[in-house]
């Protein structure tokens, strides 16, 4: 594959897989999922591993349970034991999963689910009374006896479609169950941050994959939310000027944009939030099958169709669940359901399968977000600059460029062997990973082919990329390998502000993460 072809086509994709997103991750993205926060997928990542010595591996991370306040005790953030959490991989392009890593959780108390009890009262009137907290003392990797709660999970590999394929339980060197660490309750429970890191790392497991020469890795546990976004102001009708404060549309001379937002970490409304991560790392050779080396991936969470609540609930018996497994959450590329899919169809998208995504095509060919931004900002822009721009939204309809990138991928870059229009995160496993210190937060648009939208890494600033592309950046020449490349998808006159450096003012990059599995930064402590 010629590098020039690769860079040109890959840049074409840059950010467009989000096709219309502004700046929010999948936190409470649909009406129904707001009622089921333990099944709410917040972000999904798929990338070629960039930890030294792991070049032949691919990492997939599915984050759940959004907007966790670190101090959110006393029960903190357990997974739903009735749910099935899945990471799906399509390696031939039919938009049907060929492999699924399936996670099922169990919550437990010691002493046959009765929990820890203390003897309370004077001699002659002592009574055994169960404690209300999840721990009764300090916890370390070597000594977890003070824990009054624990979670474990099973890991199953389903080959073929999830509902009809062959299921194989996976195991670590010690057991067919895996442990999940307690959330970061605070630094009295775990003494200090280093102790929690050591404790959490003890829950990273190696596991064998049938028919695969290499071993996989898995970790499930609390992490700092890696997504960076100016969340509150964004959904308040974009209550800031979404342009870098030192930029002027059209000339880039840095003289200053009146009211433009300043890049600052204080703009990150998720800066003090945690999430729960499900992370797997597997050899590339084990997931590409007989395809062309590119894979499509997404995560889902499902529940049994019926739930009957127990009117006399106990810890181990709160309800009875039954019926067919029903998908209630779905996430591939970031930002899709929040700001691409119409409000009445958001729950339909959450329950849909990628092979059926043709039903949502109008949201891509005629995205509404650019017009919303036009309504909000056109008059202000014209007044500020003394211009008469008729519209800020791109005018090339239908947005064939978005359809190609959003639903099919590009041949020779991240298009799978068969082309089935569908929404998923596409990754070319043959493009070498970029070391953390050399990564561009703008991914492919920053001349870094190993980044978004060729998969997605935790440090990729998908917000700014998406903003710029949806407003027409690809209608202008793109700098690739030191030269400006005209992609031929549309013309500058199709996008009046396509060269404006749109931003939410909340920067993100790889330095905010770890450079080893599971990559996401340690969670914030509930108490310093």
Per residue in 413-454, pLDDT tens?
788 999 999 999 999 999 999 999 999 998 887 888 899 888
Least confident of 24-33, 77-86, 134-143, 253-262: 253-262
Tell me, what's the pLDDT at 58?
A: 98
Distance CA 329, CA 349 (A): 9
Tell me, what's the pLDDT at 1?
A: 40
Per residue in 492-527, pLDDT tens?
899 898 888 888 888 889 999 999 999 999 999 999
Note whether 204 and 518 are within 8 A (CB): yes
Which residue from 418, 159, 406, 407 is spatially nearest to 292, judged by alpha carbons? Answer: 418
Which residue from 445, 482, 436, 484 is spatially nearest to 463, judged by alpha carbons? Answer: 445
Tell me, what's the pLDDT at 480?
A: 65
Note whether 282 and 216 are within 8 A (CB): yes
Q: Is the dihedral of CA 390, 391, 397, 402 positive or negative?
A: positive
Mean pLDDT of 113-118: 95
**Is 21 a residue whose pLDDT tops 60?**
no
- Tell me the pairing of strands 425-428 and 41-48: unpaired
Note whether 508 and 430 are within 8 A (CB): no
- Tell me the pairing of strands 260-261 and 241-244: parallel
Distance CA 494, CA 399 (A): 11
**Is 387 a residue whose pLDDT tops 80?**
yes
Mean pLDDT of 350-362: 94
Distance CA 292, CA 92 (A): 8
Per residue in 120-145, pLDDT tens?
999 999 999 999 999 999 999 999 99
Mean pLDDT of 375-384: 86
**Is 300 a residue whose pLDDT tops 50?**
yes
Tell me, what's the pLDDT at 258?
A: 56
Per residue in 230-250, pLDDT tens?
888 877 888 877 887 755 444
Per residue in 470-479, pLDDT tens?
888 878 887 6
Q: How confident is the model at residue 2 (pLDDT cuts 50, 70, 90)?
A: very low
**Is 48 a residue whose pLDDT tops 80?**
yes
Predicted TM-score (pTM) of this structure: 0.90
Note whether 416 and 92 are within 8 A (CB): yes
Mean pLDDT of 378-394: 87
Q: How confident is the model at residue 118 (pLDDT cuts 50, 70, 90)?
A: very high
Tell me, what's the pLDDT at 246?
A: 56
Note whether 177 and 154 are within 8 A (CB): yes
């Amino acid at each position: 594959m010629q590098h020039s072809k690769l860079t040109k086509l890959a840049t074409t994709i840059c950010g467009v897989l989000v096709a219309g997103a502004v700046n929010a991750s999948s936190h409470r993205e649909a009406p129904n999922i707001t009622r089921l926060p333990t099944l709410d997928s917040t972000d999904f990542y798929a990338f070629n591993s960039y930890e030294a010595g792991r070049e032949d591996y691919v990492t997939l991370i599915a984050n759940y349970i959004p907007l966790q306040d670190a101090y959110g005790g006393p029960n903190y953030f357990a997974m739903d034991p009735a749910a099935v959490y899945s990471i799906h991989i399509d390696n031939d392009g039919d938009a049907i999963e060929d492999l699924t890593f399936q996670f099922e959780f169990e919550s437990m108390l010691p002493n046959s689910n009765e929990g820890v009890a203390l003897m309370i009262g004077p001699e002659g009137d002592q009574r055994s009374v169960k404690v209300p907290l999840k721990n009764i003392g300090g916890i370390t990797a070597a000594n977890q006896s003070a824990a009054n709660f624990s979670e474990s999970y099973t890991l199953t590999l389903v080959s073929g479609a999830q509902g009809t394929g062959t299921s194989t339980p996976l195991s670590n060197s010690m057991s067919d169950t895996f442990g999940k660490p307690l959330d970061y309750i605070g630094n009295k429970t775990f003494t200090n941050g280093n102790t929690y890191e050591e404790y959490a790392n003890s829950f990273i497991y190696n596991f064998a994959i049938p028919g695969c020469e290499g071993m996989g890795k898995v970790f499930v546990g609390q992490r700092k939310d890696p997504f960076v976004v100016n969340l509150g102001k964004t959904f308040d009708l974009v209550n800031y000027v979404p342009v870098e404060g030192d930029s002027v549309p059209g000339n880039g001379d840095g003289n200053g944009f009146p009211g433009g937002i300043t890049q600052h970490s204080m703009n990150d409304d998720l800066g003090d939030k945690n999430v729960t991560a499900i992370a797997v790392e597997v050899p590339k050779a084990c997931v590409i099958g007989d395809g062309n080396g590119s894979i499509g991936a997404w995560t889902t969470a499902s529940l049994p169709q019926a739930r009957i609540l127990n009117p006399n609930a106990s810890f181990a018996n709160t309800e009875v669940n039954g019926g067919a497994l029903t998908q209630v959450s779905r996430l591939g590329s970031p930002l899709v359901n929040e700001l691409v899919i119409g409000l009445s169809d958001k729950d339909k998208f959450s329950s849909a399968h990628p092979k059926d995504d043709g039903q949502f095509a109008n949201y891509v060919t005629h995205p509404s977000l650019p017009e919303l931004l036009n309504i909000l900002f056109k008059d202000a822009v014209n007044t500020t600059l003394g211009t008469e721009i008729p519209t800020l939204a791109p005018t090339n309809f239908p947005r064939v460029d978005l359809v190609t990138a959003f639903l099919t991928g590009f041949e020779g870059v991240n298009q799978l062997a068969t082309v089935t229009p569908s929404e998923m995160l596409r990754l070319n496993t043959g493009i070498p990973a970029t070391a953390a210190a050399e990564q561009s937060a703008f991914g492919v648009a920053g001349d870094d082919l190993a980044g978004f939208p060729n998969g997605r890494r935790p440090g990729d600033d998908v917000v700014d990329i998406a903003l710029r592309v949806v407003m027409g950046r690809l209608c202008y020449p793109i700098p690739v390998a030191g030269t400006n490349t005209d992609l031929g998808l549309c013309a500058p006159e199709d996008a009046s502000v396509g060269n404006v450096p749109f931003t939410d003012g909340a920067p993100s990059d790889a330095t905010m993460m770890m450079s080893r599995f599971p990559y996401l930064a340690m969670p914030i402590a509930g108490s310093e």
